[in-house]
Amino acid sequence: MKAQADTHNRTQRLNYVLAVIVGLSAIQMWMMTLSLRAYMAGDPTYLWVTAIISMLLCAVNILLWFFLVH
């Protein structure tokens, strides 16, 4: 019984982490489309801004994975 509850709790927490990582990755995808649009339009202004935001999101993803899942 205790083992079942433990597994359930772990699954729940994993679900939360998964939701956060999927959410952050979705934002990264959005950043990528913004970058591509800027590139196609010949506007270099936001290319580095979106790249830096994407790198920060990636770092958060890696930290979440490393400390909570790995």
Partner 1 sequence: MSAGSIRPDRSDAPAESWREAFPIDVAEERVENRRQFIKTMVAASTVLACGQVVLATAGQRELRTVVLSDARMLIDVQLSDLKIGEAAIFHYPDKHSPCIIVRLSENETCAYSQKCTHLACPVVPNVAEGRLDCPCHHGAFDIRSGEVLYGPPKTALPRVDLEISASGMIYVVGMKQVQS
d(CA 20, CA 24): 6
Q: How far is the CB of 49 from partner 1 (least distance, A)?
A: 9
| Residue that the structure tokens 């772990």 belong to | 10
- Residue (of 58, 60, 53, 57) closest to 34 by Cα position: 53
Q: How far is the CB of 63 from partner 1 (least distance, A)?
A: 10
Chain residues binding partner 1 by CB under 8 A are 3-4, 6-7, 10-11, 13-15, 17-18, 21-22, 24-25, 28-29, 31-32, 35-36, 38-39, 42-44, 47-48, 50-51, 54-55, 57-58, 61-62, 65, 67-70
For residues 54 and 31, is the Cβ–Cβ distance under 8 A?
A: yes
